[in-house]
Amino acid sequence: MNPLRWSYRVSFLVGFLICVALLAFALYAEYGLGMEPCPLCIFQRIGFMVMAVFFLLGAIHGPKAGGRWFYTGLVLVGALFGMAVAGRHLWIQSLPADQIPACGPNLAYMFDAFPLAKVLKLVFTGSGECAKVQPILGLPMPFWTLLWFILLSVLAIRATLQRAAPRLRL
């Protein structure tokens, strides 16, 4: 089966399955490999969750023409959010040791103690735990998430732009 000729529904189902697999790997990395997620890692997971929901809804609904762009747009919102978070995470990891922000409270405490706007500001400021590089296959985890956000965005756009194959009439 040629992935360049998949239907919109199949492409969106594959996008959903990839997001679920990535989230499952994140849980394995956390509980199986002992890699504690920082607040930016958790926000990247949220980006994949948003994408997974709209990939699944698009696959189930299978809209025509302009309706496809609705689901693709929502998938891209999750992807752009995830790309911004992953990019910020990579930037924090690239800082010299003397410029790394101090470690802050965990995300659960921040949500209990502060309003959402303050939590977002604190998270995007970064903390020392976000600067810890935990490589997977030699590259930091945020690099892999950024790559997957880009690839899944391309999949969604490709599925939306692809025209249906002409049907044979007998």
Q: Is residue 134 part of a domain?
A: yes
Task: Give me the residue label for tokens 């690839």.
Answer: 151
Q: Are 7 and 161 in contact (CB under 8 A)?
A: no
Give the C-alpha separation, 59 to 12, whole Å.
Answer: 5
Tokens at 148, concatenated: 């997957």
Secondary structure class of 110 (helix, strand, coil): helix
For the whole prediction, is pTM greater than 0.75? yes
pLDDT computed for residue 102 by the predictor: 56
Split into its structural domains, the chain has a count of 1
Within-domain flag for 166:
no
Q: 69 lies in which domain range?
A: 3-161
Is residue 170 domain-resident? Answer: no
What is the Cα–Cα distance from 76 to 157, expressed in whole angstroms? Answer: 9
SS3 state of residue 150: helix
Burial class (CB in 10 A: 0-12, 13-18, 19+), 42: middle
CATH of the domain at 41: 1.20.1550.10
E-strand spans in the chain?
A: 135-136, 139-140
Please tell me the predicted confidence (pLDDT) of residue 170. Answer: 57
- Domain assignment present for residue 91? The answer is yes
What's residue 105's pLDDT? 59
Per-residue pLDDT of the chain (170 residues; tens, 9 = 90+): 566 677 889 999 999 999 999 999 999 988 998 887 878 888 899 999 999 999 999 999 988 888 899 999 999 999 999 999 999 888 887 777 676 655 555 666 666 777 777 776 666 555 545 666 677 778 888 899 999 999 999 999 999 988 655 555 55
Pairwise CA distance, residues 83 & 110, whole Å = 23
At 49 the pLDDT is 95
Check residue 104 and give its pLDDT: 57
Residue 168 lies in a domain: no
